Amino acid sequence: MVSFLSNKHFTICVFLLLCLSCQQKAEQKEPEADAKPELVMYKPSEMANFMNALYAYNLQLKHQIVNGEVPTTMPLDLMKLHSAEMSKGHQRTAVWNNFVNVFIESQQTVVDTLSNTELKARYNAAINNCLACHKTECTGPIPKIKKLLIQ
């Protein structure tokens, strides 16, 4: 009888242990589930998307200017530079804040048909402002941005 009882207890213990180990396994799986949002973060940030739009827009401006056309429209909402979320590791640093408004003004000046400054000089000034910020804030795209300059 005693041995039967202890056997029963043993069985219950084994059962409980199994349950516990199942639970542990379930817990161990959680970090994997957490890893998914990490992958999602490799998606380009709102700011990266906007930067790529800025790049595409300026490439189009370059073609227009080289072809002797006078661009008059600036379809991008440059205020997004103040609000767009940046990817991990990037933030609005003091350097960013120093450069961002200077850049916005120079980008708007490119399509200012009343300006007395030569179009190519205005355009290159805007691109040089991209580069000025990029020198410290995001060095990777610098070679690509340099190609936007009109020689």
Least separation in angstroms between residue 94's CB and ligand HEC is 11
Tokens for 107, please give them.
């980008």
Instruction: Tell me the window of 5-13, 21-29, 113-121, 135-143 that interacts with ligand HEC (CB under 6 A).
Output: 135-143
- Window of 35-43, 64-72, 113-121, 141-149 that interacts with ligand HEC by CB under 6 A: 141-149
90 binds ligand HEC (CB under 6 A): yes
Please tell me whether residue 74 binds ligand HEC under the rule CB under 6 A.
no
- Kindly indicate which of the ranges 25-33, 60-68, 117-125, 134-142 contains the residues binding ligand HEC, using the contact rule CB under 6 A: 134-142
